Amino acid sequence: MVKTRQIICALFAASLASSAVAADSAITLPRDIRIFLTNMEDCEHMAGEVDNTLPPEALQKNINEANRTCKLAKRQYEHLRQKYQGQGAIENIISPYGTTMNSSL
């Protein structure tokens, strides 16, 4: 999943450069966006770990962890969507997760 963040950072830098904002090679995403992306990766990973072939105790543990990480990511998404409204480069990064948030959580 690290590659995903690297790609997003590169797209963000390219977006800033194309909008005539000074961009240098050290551009990083805002901290709250980086935290959100990490939590989304955790959510997606844990959702993939929910496997009905697991023993009941392990299955319940994975379900609980998926619920915890996905609920956190969903709250962050809603907050970030409002916070960065009108900031195209960041909206482009978080908006694809809206479908995930609305369909599976």
| Distance (Å, whole) CA 47 – CA 61 | 11
pLDDT of the residue at 43: 92
The answer to whether 36 and 98 have CB atoms below 8 angstroms apart is no
User: How large is the average pLDDT for residues 56-73?
Assistant: 95
State residue 97's pLDDT score. Answer: 87
Average pLDDT over residues 5-14: 56
Confidence of residue 98 (pLDDT cuts 50, 70, 90): confident
Q: CA 62, CA 47: separation in Å to the nearest integer?
A: 8
Residue with more model confidence, 101 or 94: 94
The H-or-E segment that residue 10 falls in is helix 2-18
In the prediction, which pLDDT does 99 show? 76
Domain boundaries, the chain: 30-104
65: Cβ contacts below 8 Å, ≥ 6 apart: 46, 49
Higher pLDDT, 13 or 82: 82
Cβ partners under 8 Å of residue 62, min gap 6? 46, 49, 50, 51, 54
pLDDT digit string, tens, across residues 10-44: 555 555 554 444 444 446 899 999 999 999 999 99
